[in-house]
Structure 1
Amino acid sequence: MTLTSVLLPTTVVGSYPVVKGSGLFARMDPLKHAVEVAVADQIGAGIDIISAGQVRGDMIRAFTSHLPGIRGSSVVGKVQPAARPITLADTKYALSRHPKVKGILTGPSTLAHGLSIETPFYRNKDELVLDIAQALAVEANYLQDAGVALIQVDEPIFSTGAANLAVGREAVNAIAGVLRTPVCLHVCGNLGDVIDDVLKINVAVFDFEFANNPQNLEVLSEKDLRGRMIGYGCVDSADPGIESIETIKKRIEAGIDVFSPETMLVDPDCGLRMQSHDAALEKLKNMVAAAGEVRAEYTG
């Protein structure tokens, strides 16, 4: 699978700091400026596969607030697909500015575990997860039709032990199975206890954190990815400090010792939303510079 013509392409995991606008247009859409800044920053930093920034609320409410059957944080009836696309407008804006864009969905298991069931329609979270997957598959198709290069499903819940991974696998497979566009599964945290279950999921790319969880590199070194690509988190998104180009370069080189550079995407561990705008931008710039230096050594 070739996502770009570049070795070690750079991308982002998701959320970016919110930079709100002002004036009349900002009153009409307070977060439009934040989308524009996120997209412009990624392009300016030199990111190869950008996102729309995921600036419209937290990763749970950004989706659940649009799904029939959910009211607030409660499931009150059968969950249905949204009446209209949720992330499409911002994604189309990103596509109007850059040829390679990643569409991003919060995963079914993570969404379900952020909700309480207050209806007899669902006996448990496992049943809910599968209906949410069907709703998200509709959104994923909108993104595919718009022309995204990659669709990422975020399942941070997978590393916590709280989710039923067999059901989670079925749910992610239900989304990926209806798409032609490659699907990336993002799981942050320590993978030691869950990696075998996660690698059973039928996606084209696995995205994991290695900067804040370097032990994940040892965990993955013993596993066969069976030709799938790896999103290689090499910037610590939880650390407000801005890593040097040299530090990030060493992390990328450590990854190359385990994975072939042809199979690697270079990105931060997770979204950068909790960092300051300046720190997030500098982290991306240094990441791109580090990837460029490593790339030059392999292609020069």
Structure 2
Amino acid sequence: MPLTDLLLPTTVVGSYPVVRGKGLRALLDPLRPALETAINDQVNAGVDIISDGQVRGEMIQIFTTHLPGVRGQQVIGKVLPAAGSITVHDTRFALTKTRYVKGILTGPSTLAHGLQLATPHYRSREELVPDIATALVVEAIALEEAGVAMIQIDEPIFSTGAPDLDIGGRAVELIADQVSVPVALHTCGDLSQVIDRILSIRVDIHDCEFATCPANLDLFSARDLGKKKIGLGCLDSSSDSVESVDVIARLIRNGVDRFGANRLLIDPDCGMRMRIREAASAKLVHMVEATGIVRSEL
């Protein structure tokens, strides 16, 4: 079944708790057990579009470690594309377990603002953003060639007011324009101050927090979305408390009433790297069950 034919497809924002293994296999690749656990938990929960779990590091370091021009947390020269792919290996492994996998990139603005400038090559972080975007284009193309169903660009910093959204938006579009698979832009928090600029960014899907920021429902439903889809965050990713199926289903129904079922993807508010595994797994199981209930009602 093509991705576009899925009704209320369930997915994840990306990161998953890192469960380290033991024994010889863990010595050879300490994070391989975490990768397998993250993927298996998503598949076993019944998630339609999974991720690789982003177990190799936190969202900034996982990319900047591989970019020439960056050393540690400092930019020491012109930033260039990585010598090889960064996330493709783990993504390919995920694709051996299920048909639909999303490739995930930390966005250029979030990366730029997570680094310190230690070179005269860049006078500001905003000058750094386009070069990071150019570097990420290479990774996005590699992910598409590997067979991902979609690509997600994470820009949690967009809601803070820190970055220049015109520069940041163009950087996201630079990446999105180079691939043919659907591209989602994930933004965190209350979007009331940036909603119109974010919606003007040329992507296919806007993925946001709605469980912990219900006001975002009003912001989006009050605007013309054109053909854009919504990633409906329906799990509180900041808590180990597991929402009931009824609570999740109620939020999904609200989203269906406002936007229509054909416009929605269902996922947690954000990544769940900081959650305990038992909570993250149970949340996904309940999310999938709630989505199934709402599907049966349509």
Q: Tell me, yes or no, whether TM beats 0.5.
A: yes
For 1:255, the equivalent position in structure 2 comes to 255
How far 1:3 sits from its partner (Å)?
Answer: 2.4
User: In structure 1, the residue corresponding to 2:96 is in which secondary structure?
Assistant: helix
For 2:221, the equivalent position in structure 1 comes to 221
Name which of structure 1's ranges 283-292 and 120-129 shifts more when overlaid on structure 2: 120-129
| 1:167-198 CA-partner distances (Å, limit 9, x unpaired) | 00110000001111111100010000001000
Q: Report the count of equivalent residues.
A: 297
AA of the residue aligned to 2:266: V
AA of the residue aligned to 2:79: V
AA of the residue aligned to 2:209: E
| 1:30-79 CA-partner distances (Å, limit 9, x unpaired) | 00110101110000000000000011111000000100000011000000
| 1:105-132 CA-partner distances (Å, limit 9, x unpaired) | 0000000000011111111111100000
TM-score by length of 2: 0.98
AA of the residue aligned to 1:241: S
AA of the residue aligned to 1:126: E
How far 1:4 sits from its partner (Å)?
Answer: 4.3
For 1:132, the equivalent position in structure 2 comes to 132
For 2:208, the equivalent position in structure 1 comes to 208
Matched, 1:177 2:193: no
| 1:222-264 CA-partner distances (Å, limit 9, x unpaired) | 1111111110001111121100000000011111121111010
How far 1:25 sits from its partner (Å)?
Answer: 1.4
For 1:7, the equivalent position in structure 2 comes to 7
TM-score by length of 1: 0.98
Matched, 1:119 2:119: yes
Matched residues in 1 for 2:277 and 2:116: separation?
34
Matched residues in 1 for 2:120 and 2:67: separation?
18
Matched residues in 2 for 1:32 and 1:112: separation?
28
For 2:92, the equivalent position in structure 1 comes to 92
Matched residues in 1 for 2:25 and 2:221: separation?
50
Percent of aligned pairs with the same amino acid: 57
For 1:295, the equivalent position in structure 2 comes to 295
For 2:76, the equivalent position in structure 1 comes to 76
Matched residues in 1 for 2:111 and 2:126: separation?
12
For 1:239, the equivalent position in structure 2 comes to 239
Matched residues in 1 for 2:130 and 2:225: separation?
26
Matched, 1:101 2:96: no
AA of the residue aligned to 1:187: T
How far 1:96 sits from its partner (Å)?
Answer: 0.8
Matched residues in 1 for 2:136 and 2:3: separation?
23
Ranges in structure 2 where 5+ consecutive residues have no aligned partner: none
Matched residues in 1 for 2:256 and 2:98: separation?
28
Matched residues in 2 for 1:95 and 1:67: separation?
25
User: In structure 2, the residue corresponding to 1:151 is in which secondary structure?
Assistant: strand
The 4+ residue runs of structure 1 with deviation greater than 4 A are: none
Ranges in structure 1 where 5+ consecutive residues have no aligned partner: none
User: In structure 1, the residue corresponding to 2:3 is in which secondary structure?
Assistant: coil
Name which of structure 1's ranges 147-156 and 254-263 shifts more when overlaid on structure 2: 254-263
For 2:57, the equivalent position in structure 1 comes to 57
AA of the residue aligned to 1:202: R
Matched residues in 2 for 1:82 and 1:28: separation?
23
AA of the residue aligned to 1:175: I
